[in-house]
Amino acid sequence: MAKTVIKKSNIHISSNGMEKHIPEKRLEVLKTYKIYIGGQFPRTESGRYYVPVNKSGKKLANVCLSSRKDFRDAMESARGAFGGWSGRAAFNRGQILYRMAEMLEGRKAQFIDELIQQDSTAAQAEVEVNLAIDRLIYYAGWCDKYQQIFSAVNPVASSHFNFSVPEPTGVVAVIAPQNDSLLGLVSVIAPVIAGGNTCVVLGSFDKPLCCVTFAEVLNSSDLPGGVVNILTGKSSELASWFAEHMDVNAVVYCEKDEATQKMFKEKSAVNVKRVVLYDKVNWYSDAGQSPYFINDTQEIKTTWHPIENIGGGGSKY
């Protein structure tokens, strides 16, 4: 990608008499952008690639054009990881989200560089990365707290102690925001996994660099393999598979495209998936983070626990 010219090396004789070659410019080692499934970085099963180009005409990279079979494999990983992740102590999930933020902070420069390649200004890029880090911290804090907000003890007219608690809905298939390729991605993944779900995420098509690099952050931050799986490719190819897969429990879609929204609503009926649409959210504003985003991929379990007669016991429940 980068234009590299190797000039004739300068040869120096060092003090111990050894020859030292000092090339004026070294060959840059370019990163292969692969997808992230089950804690591994495979290439797409389909063998297809595309080359996103930025506004100044620079080719960004060869990026995997994922197929429905990559999605199927990712779903298997996500389902396999669900029991372990949802079974962890909420506090521990918070620690891991915090660790993700630490890792992201450590690679800030790389993300800023990638965002600039993807047409952000330097100032915009820095704001986006900072917000993404803060957002992870925000949801790390909520991991063991949202349950109290959304739980309730319910009044019932029989001798039962009746209470409702949120539980993770299962595997969530996410089509991440296409424009805010890092902040949008983090803003949709974090509440899903903070709530104990696992997910398969399709990153931005035109700006795919950050989502692959973010997968590397996930991979080095104690997040068990399979909890987040990241694909790159075309929403138009994959969206209907997201909607129709019987093992998907909820879908998240962030674009304004009405035809796709309609498709999600219709096809999700096959196994009554939750359909979550974030087409009006400004991820840069305060409204871009809230425990209600966690609640969107929870299901409420209500328990009727028999107790002694409420009249006699004087209970007000």
Partner 1 sequence: MIIPDFRISPRVDQVGIEERASRVTKRSIKKESKMNGLLLALNMIDLTTLEGKDTDGKVKQLCYKAQHLHDAYPGLPTVAAICVYPSMVKTAKQALGNSGVKVASVATAFPSGQAPRDVKIRDTKYAVANGADEVDMVISRGKFLMGEYNYVFDEIAAIKEACGDARLKVILETGELGSYDKVRRASDIAMYAGADFIKTSTGKISPAATLPVTLVMLEAIRDFYYVTGKMIAMKPAGGISKSKLALHYLVMLKEVLGEAWMNNEWFRFGASSLANDLLMQIVKEKTGLYQSKDYFSID
Residues 6 or more apart whose Cβ sits within 8 Å of residue 79: 171, 198, 247
Contact 182, 214 (CB under 8 A): yes
Residues 188-207 that bind partner 1 (CB under 8 A): none
Q: Which residue among 101, 245, 283, 297 contacts partner 1 (CB under 8 A)?
A: 245
Judged by beta carbon, residue 207 or residue 245, the one nearer partner 1 is: 245
The structure tokens 């389909």 sit at 46
- At residue 136, what is the residue type? L
Residues 46-75 that bind partner 1 (CB under 8 A): 72, 75
Is residue 270 at the binding interface for partner 1, with CB under 8 A as the rule? yes
Is residue 274 at the binding interface for partner 1, with CB under 8 A as the rule? no
Distances (CA, A) of 295 to 14, 142, 272, 276, 291: 66, 11, 17, 11, 6
Q: Which residue among 5, 13, 157, 246 contacts partner 1 (CB under 8 A)?
A: 246
Judged by beta carbon, residue 184 or residue 196, the one nearer partner 1 is: 196
- Angle at which helix 183-194 crosses helix 209-219, to 10 degrees, equals 40
- At residue 301, what is the residue type? K
Q: Which span sits near partner 1 by CB under 8 A: 50-58, 145-153, 221-229, 242-250?
A: 242-250
Instruction: State the nearest-atom distance from the C-beta of 212 to partner 1, in Å.
Output: 24
Distances (CA, A) of 26 to 4, 22, 61, 163, 202: 8, 9, 20, 65, 35
Q: Which span sits near partner 1 by CB under 8 A: 20-28, 30-38, 198-206, 245-253?
A: 245-253
Is residue 241 at the binding interface for partner 1, with CB under 8 A as the rule? yes
Is residue 271 at the binding interface for partner 1, with CB under 8 A as the rule? yes
Residues forming the site for partner 1 (CB under 8 A): 72, 75, 79, 241, 244-247, 270-271
